[in-house]
Amino acid sequence: MKFRNLTLLALIFFTLQSCVDNEAYFGSGGGVDNPEIYTRLADIIKHENVPTDTIAFNPLEDSNISGTFGVEINIPANSCILGSNELPDELFVVLREYPTLSKMALSNVQTESNQEMLVTGGNFWWKIIDADGRDWDIVQPSQITATQPVVLDMGEYADQAAYFTGDIISGGSQQVINWTQVRNNESGMGPNNVFEYNGLQLRWANVDALYQYPGERTQFSAVLNPNDDIQPNQEMLLLIVEDFPSVINIYTKQGDSFVTHNNAIPVGLSGTLVAIALDNNDELLIGSTDITVAGDDEFSVDVAPGSMSQLTSLINQITN
């Protein structure tokens, strides 16, 4: 990820189409010409913010499923089951892929494992359904294999990449993903930065390595400014790490501040905080600031009315 400074990022953000200057926002009213209105933040920052592939296959035969961004899942014949139901000659794989940090950030897909930071190579979600929309299971997950191209630069961690599964947990008013390494599993990085899954389970799959903290750990807090017009429980703060590929959802609140977990952040870490919220008029608010963590820091992120296209452009600028 390229080096960025606060001045450059601010210039990029405030020159995006339809953005407003600080005076317009912090005065009475302010906002974009056509503000985007939403009922809940969860309606716009959601897992479905990537293409969803629905791919038909014959479960009575060996099948190879290919996704939009290169994930391939191999399903041997007669691998699917739903109680005592007879196996039909057509089922469907529903597949969503998150190969880049921008797709993860815009979809609320984060990279933490039990409050430990992960170096990620990308992830995906999949399930098997029938024509009636019923979920089918796998008879023996150990027989399911898959490959996933890794486009993120994991650096020295590529050799340590392992298979992690994800579980949705409650993070304050949000739902976040906690990743757990699959133990006693032979998955690993293959040739040409293609990760090879062996024993693929349904739902979430991630190429990850636990970040090895080189020195002192700390925590920090951040507040969205101004916060008196933000709806309660309709705000989120992401940390997009610059030093290695990772996206962290800082969901713990103490008063008006977002607070990271104790001893969860390495001193010296650089990244960008991205704030997303709804105001009391259901209008989208966005903002960002670059940070370098020196210790028990207190940061603030200015937010202003914006659009989803502006938010997408902002995150793309940060992650590219």
Contact 218, 295 (CB under 8 A): yes
Q: Tell me the per-residue pLDDT of 260-296, one tens digit each, with 9 for 90 and over.
A: 999 999 999 999 999 999 999 999 999 999 999 999 9
pLDDT band of 302, cuts 50, 70, 90: very high
- The Cα 314–Cα 320 span in angstroms is 10
Please name every residue paired with 75 in a beta bridge, in sequence order, or none if there are none. 63
- The Cα 243–Cα 277 span in angstroms is 26
**How far is Cα of residue 73 from the mean position of the Cα atoms in its chain?**
21
User: For 187, which DSSP code?
Assistant: -
> Per the confidence metrics, is the pTM higher than 0.95?
no
- Per-residue pLDDT at 34: 64
- The Cα 286–Cα 215 span in angstroms is 33
In the chain, the percentage of residues whose pLDDT exceeds 90 is 84
Strand 298-302 relative to strand 221-225, pairing: parallel
Residue 12 reports pLDDT greater than 50:
no
Q: Which has the closest alpha carbon to 289: 232, 230, 223, 218?
A: 223
